[in-house]
Amino acid sequence: MGTPDLEALADRGYYKGEDILACERAAITPYVPKTLNSSAKADGRFGKQDFVYHPEDDTYRCPAGERLTRRCSTIEHGMLLHLYWTTCCQTCALKDQCTPGKERRVRRWEHEDVLDAMQERLDRAPEMPRLRRQTVEHPFGTIKAWMGATHFLTRTLERVRTEMSLHVLAYNLKRVLAILGPGPLLAAIQS
């Protein structure tokens, strides 16, 4: 694309570990806020972010200071996940704030270090989500206005994707025409 550094900005609806890993492997720096879908947090208990990972000994520290060690691994949805827990949960004073089960288990994806690094980048650059909103929301609003702000004319995901792609193409062509004018655009297309 002619640029040495590519960055990808997306909102939390696009947070998917496999896609973030693919960006990293393609030398694209992703910025995608983590989805907040923890049932523990919703129930008023500690979330995974309250457990601190220590890569030097491959353990987690819980909010009570106990060490959760890797006990086993499993494959879910094609991803290798490691499970960590401690046997101290039964006697812990914070158990009610942590888990309703026998012990709290924390899952860690084999490539979660990539997700952790991206979260650190986002923490250092809080303006990135604002930049995405400023860049994306206006064109999207314009496209919705062109559509009559109601609904797509087609049905099924494949057809709706095609319809949306045509709307985006039309928007981009109108923007290029407004910025460059018809002469330079035709010259660029012909070369």
- 138, 183: one domain: yes
- Does pTM surpass 0.85? no
Are 136 and 142 within 8 A, CB to CB?
no
In a domain, 82, yes or no: yes
Instruction: Name the β-bridge partners of 52.
Output: 61
Q: Which residues span the domain enclosing 170?
A: 127-190
- 100, 180: one domain: no
Query: Which run of H or of E encompasses 64?
Result: none
The tokens for 2 are 């002619």
Distance separating alpha carbons of residues 167 and 163, to the nearest angstrom: 6
- Band (1; pLDDT cuts 50, 70, 90): very low
Are 32 and 10 within 8 A, CB to CB?
yes
- 92, 115: one domain: yes
- 11, 48: one domain: yes
Q: In the sheet where 52-54 sits, what is the strand order?
A: 52-54, 59-61, 67-76, 79-85, 106-109
- 161, 95: one domain: no
Distance separating alpha carbons of residues 64 and 11, to the nearest angstrom: 33
- Band (137; pLDDT cuts 50, 70, 90): confident
- 106, 24: one domain: yes
Query: Could you report the per-residue pLDDT of 40-98, keeping only the tens digit for each?
Result: 877 889 989 899 999 999 999 999 999 999 999 999 999 999 999 999 999 999 999 99
- 149, 178: one domain: yes
Provide the number of structural domains found in the chain: 2
- 24, 88: one domain: yes
Of 124, 139, 159, the residue that ends a domain is: 124
- 139, 98: one domain: no
Query: Could you report the per-residue pLDDT of 40-56, keeping only the tens digit for each?
Result: 877 889 989 899 999 99
User: Which amino acid, one-letter code, is at 96?
Assistant: D
